[in-house]
Amino acid sequence: MNLKPIKSEIDYRNALGRLEIIFDAPIDTKEGDEAEILSLLIENYENIHYPIEAPDPIEAIKIRMEELNMRQKDLIGIIGGKSRVSEILNRKKRLTVDMIRDLERKLQISASVLINEYELDSKA
């Protein structure tokens, strides 16, 4: 086991290549321990160099709707009537505090995601 910090793209690619070779190594073996440590090093490098940004509130709602096999009409009563749901999902209006509370409770979307700023459609 010759582990070292991942400091460059070359180190990163080499680490990925090595992990691919030892990925299925049994736990509590020399290669299994190496795979576990290498995974942590790779994850750390990716978090720094390839961060994944959280979706904006409207995208988060749409993603959650897809996960739950919901349609736009299923949000009626959660964030308002038919026209209000349409206005929100089409970025014509902003979410209100009450809508955020209901979405958090009923769709289990974190309020910390829903309170983020997002662009409204300028064609409104």
Look up the pTM and report it.
0.62
- The whole-chain average pLDDT of the chain stands at 93
| Calpha distance 1→36 (Å, rounded) | 12
Q: How many residues make up the chain in this entry?
A: 124
| Calpha distance 79→6 (Å, rounded) | 46
3-state DSSP assignment of residue 10: helix
pLDDT digits (tens, 9 = 90+) for 78-124: 999 999 999 999 999 999 999 999 999 999 999 999 999 999 987 64
Residue 98: count other Cβ atoms within 10 Å of its Cβ. 10
Domain layout of the chain by residue ranges: 9-49, 57-114
CATH superfamily of 57-114: lambda repressor-like DNA-binding domains (1.10.260.40)
Integer Rg of the chain from CA: 22
pLDDT digits (tens, 9 = 90+) for 33-88: 999 999 999 999 999 999 988 889 999 999 999 999 999 999 999 999 999 999 99
